[in-house]
Amino acid sequence: MEALSWYAVYTRPRAEKKLADALEKLGIEHYLPRLRTRKKWSDRYKWVEEPLFASYVFARIDFVQQSLAVLKTPHAVNFVTTAGAAAAISDADMELLRLAVENFAESLVVRDTSELAAGETVRIKDGPFAGKEAVIERIQGKTLVVVAFPGLNKSVQVEIPVGQIGKL
């Protein structure tokens, strides 16, 4: 019996669709979540489909039997690892991702908070506090950060979306 699990495959830059096509030709079940977004060119706006996660494609494989075939495809770089081993993703988590993309695509926001830490000084990029420096007090989930402004004698805490925060 095959032990099929989902794995995230890291791709070369902007090669997600090419890897998905290569996996399709190999007969490997894969998933490339995409969102339809509106892009501005110098002379017009256009709707385009972009990967939800840049440089990642999900593949459902028997790791022992098929991992080498996946890595031999021209656009694959490596599997996403945890503690040195390829990180398997549960079927339930993949189903949640599919449901989110299918049903909430217009409101999905992906933010990376892994590089933010409490006590870190950051600069606010957008909103009414744009250009101001603040100190991260705590991270609330994946989308909100509570910051304090050190220039004031009293601590004023404000919740700010992660997308409005930049590293110094």
Percent residues over pLDDT 70 in the chain: 81
Q: Model-level pTM greater than 0.75?
A: no
Considering the chain, tell me which residue range(s) the CATH 2.30.30.30 domain(s) occupy.
121-167
The pLDDT of 124-138, averaged and rounded, is 78
Round the average pLDDT of the chain to a whole number and report it: 82
From the options 2.30.30.30, 3.40.50.1970, 3.30.40.230, 3.40.50.150, give the CATH code of 121-167.
2.30.30.30
Q: Kindly report the number of other CB atoms within 10 A of residue 98's CB atom.
A: 13
The pLDDT of residue 1 is above 50: no
Q: Kindly report the number of other CB atoms within 10 A of residue 6's CB atom.
A: 20
Is residue 164 within 8 A of residue 125, CB to CB? The reply is yes
The pLDDT of residue 107 is above 90: no
Q: Check: CATH 3.30.70.940 for 4-107?
A: yes
The token pair that represents 127 in the structure block: 């909103």
CA-CA distance, 7 to 27, in Å (whole number)? 16
| pLDDT bucket at 128, cuts 50 / 70 / 90 | confident
Q: Kindly report the number of other CB atoms within 10 A of residue 141's CB atom.
A: 9
Which tens digit of pLDDT belongs to each residue from 33-84? 998 877 888 888 888 888 888 889 999 999 999 999 999 999 999 999 888 8
